[in-house]
Amino acid sequence: MRSLPNTQVRNLGILAHVDAGKTTVTERILFLTGAVHKRGEVHEGTTVTDFDPQERERGITISSAAVTCSWAGHRLTLIDTPGHVDFSDEVERALRVLDGAVAVFDAVAGVEPQSESVWRQADRYGVPRIAFVNKMDRAGADLDAAVDSIRDRLGTVPLPVQLPLGREDGFRGVVDLVRMRAYAWEDGVRAETEVPAGVRDEAVRRRRLLEEAVAELHPDALDEFCVTGSLAAGTLVRALRELTLAGTAVVVLCGAAYRDRGVEPLLDAVVAYLPAPADRPPVGGGGRAADPDAPLVALAFKVSAAPTGRMTYVRVYAGTLRQGSTVLDTATGRTERISRVLLVQADRTVDVPVGLAGDIVAVVGPKTVRAGATLCAPEAPVVLEPPVPAAPVVSVAVEARRSTDTGRLATALARLAEEDPSLVVRADPETGQTVLSGLGELHLEVAVEKLRRERGLEVTAGRPQVAYRETVTEGVTGLLYRHVKQDGGAGQFAHVVIDVQPLDGEEEFVFTSTVTGGRVPQEYVRAVEAGCRDALVDGPLGGHPVTGVRVTLTDGATHPKDSSEPAFRAAGRFALREALRSSVLTLLEPVADVTVTVPADSVGTVLGDLASRRGRVTDSEVRGGTSVVTATVPLAELFGYATRLRGRTQGRGTFTTRPAGYAPAP
């Protein structure tokens, strides 16, 4: 049981683009805090947080892993999140329950596409962040360039609080600009010294720039700066913390985690600048603060539905979660019994008697709780906003090789979807096949491999298919539809007139009514809207969902006996279907922003290949001796691109993608 007060607890995520080094940063934190006694390495498959066999084989983080450690009298709970775009939904669920985050950037590449995406995700949940520019020992590493990219691409105010000692392979330590002390590392051991004479003038200059930047943003710091002409270290720390908590600015540190340089100052910054649970706003309608004595409020953010047992990860926001207690799942209205409360250390767990407000723990006992559900005291119900799963964009048909395994496959797929809400399982009504949909080719590849390894199933998967949409480019006005049905007993009557027009912007569907004089009662208007939503599920071009449509109900009529909500819902559905058949529609296909990094001598080949895939190049630049090409490419054309790129660049080319919405298909 935790004995520390809330003010000495930090719940933080490690966020980054794939291969920026966030798992290595996590491993070094665990080693320095004494949580592990041997450094884990990604390339050796010995990391604590990447414990899944697929993670170790692929060298990437696939699912979020929580670990707990202690530093400077504080308890830190870290969640190492995936960096690959296909697993961004894992990041979304983690960010929903975190108080703060460390964003890790590559010192050569700066802000990369996925680091920008996770930054925006953190913006949505108002999660305060500090930045750690990693890999300062690489050729081409440049802290100033990385800071500029944070300012330009993320639209925030970066405040570097360190000056690197040495460049590239000669990087040996940092100067702390707040306390004006130097730290150097040799064989993983940190030594504190005076600021070396060779960099003292530069350190003084940068300290002055830091003071001026903070004074511009913080009123109390400005007052002190105007009176004394400088800022004391204590004032700087307080101002930097308050600016971080408000999201006004981002403290920037640097280091080389793989060579054990710069991680201790990062831990000090986590304690100094990131929020405690008590610093975050109260949750729920009644505004429940992080008080262990308050009524229980917790959010389930992850489910592990392994054959050996079901475990639910929860963040306790208020109250105390006890073994043997009964909680209410407000998503289902059912009560669940908590049989065990567990402190999680990646793939290991330790039983604890309670989870207090501010804790991230796992519970055993609930049978039907899903990710996003609120667990609360039955006598004080409350609902927290759940994270919204991303819409799947790629699908494969899966089937068991042996007919006797069909039932087992259905059970295994249901468990996969329970663990990962961004995976959707459905039956194709035309072919009868079972279709698995996800966020990308790799996402589905990992899911199918899980079926084979963890469930022992022999399955076959078809070629991935993308999720198309249909949209209206030229609508119709004044379409009249009369729904009349008489088959004995009460009949059905509904008369509607609708206009259908294309919708500008990113909105998917807008429904309005201009009916006057009570010709269509309000409850029937809502039924017409529900019927229209029913009609948008499958469009006339190819049975794909319809998006970007504005429907206006302009007139209608009712019958004193035969009109009803079901009748008007049916009228809305059939009217919109008829209107869509009369409109001009366009097929939309999902597209992705692709960033390709290749040697300069391969640029021509890569550009030609992107053009053959209907790619539209939007940017090209040279960074650190390599060329970086950005293009928008239809998702359907990216299947197998990794193998093609490796072959055309002798294995030296890499690429990343992120969803960019939909575009008209040819």
Residues marked as binding?
16-23, 80-84, 134-137
Contacts of residue 534, defined as CB under 8 A and 6 or more positions apart, other chains included, come to 569, 572, 573
d(CA 347, CA 311): 12
d(CA 426, CA 413): 10
DSSP string for 348-397:
EEEEESEEETT-EEEEE--SS--TT-EEE-TTS---PPPPPPPPP-EEEE
Where are the alpha helices (H) located in 218-258, listed in sequence order?
A: 219-228, 233-246
Stated as kind and residue range, the H or E segment containing 574 is helix 565-582
3-state DSSP assignment of residue 34 = coil
d(CA 642, CA 504): 35
Reported as half-sphere exposure (CB side, CA atoms, 13 A), residue 410 has a value of: 8
Q: Are 10 and 278 in contact (CB under 8 A)?
A: no
d(CA 376, CA 297): 5
Q: Are 93 and 240 in contact (CB under 8 A)?
A: no
* 384, two tokens: 């927290």
Residue length, the chain? 666
d(CA 406, CA 77): 41
Quote the DSSP letter at residue 282: P
Q: Are 198 and 175 in contact (CB under 8 A)?
A: no
Q: Within 10 A of 37 (CB to CB), how many other CB atoms are there?
A: 7
Quote the DSSP letter at residue 460: E
* 92, two tokens: 């979304």
Which residues define the annotated binding site for GTP? 16-23, 80-84, 134-137
Cα first-last separation, the chain? 61
3-state DSSP assignment of residue 89 = helix
Contacts of residue 198, defined as CB under 8 A and 6 or more positions apart, other chains included, come to none
3-state DSSP assignment of residue 506 = coil
Sheet of 509-513, strand order: 476-485, 492-502, 549-557, 509-513
Identity of the amino acid at 600: A
Q: Are 44 and 24 in contact (CB under 8 A)?
A: no
* Residue 516 CA from chain centroid, whole number: 45
Q: What is the CA radius of gyration of the chain?
A: 28
Contacts of residue 219, defined as CB under 8 A and 6 or more positions apart, other chains included, come to none
Q: Are 18 and 83 in contact (CB under 8 A)?
A: yes
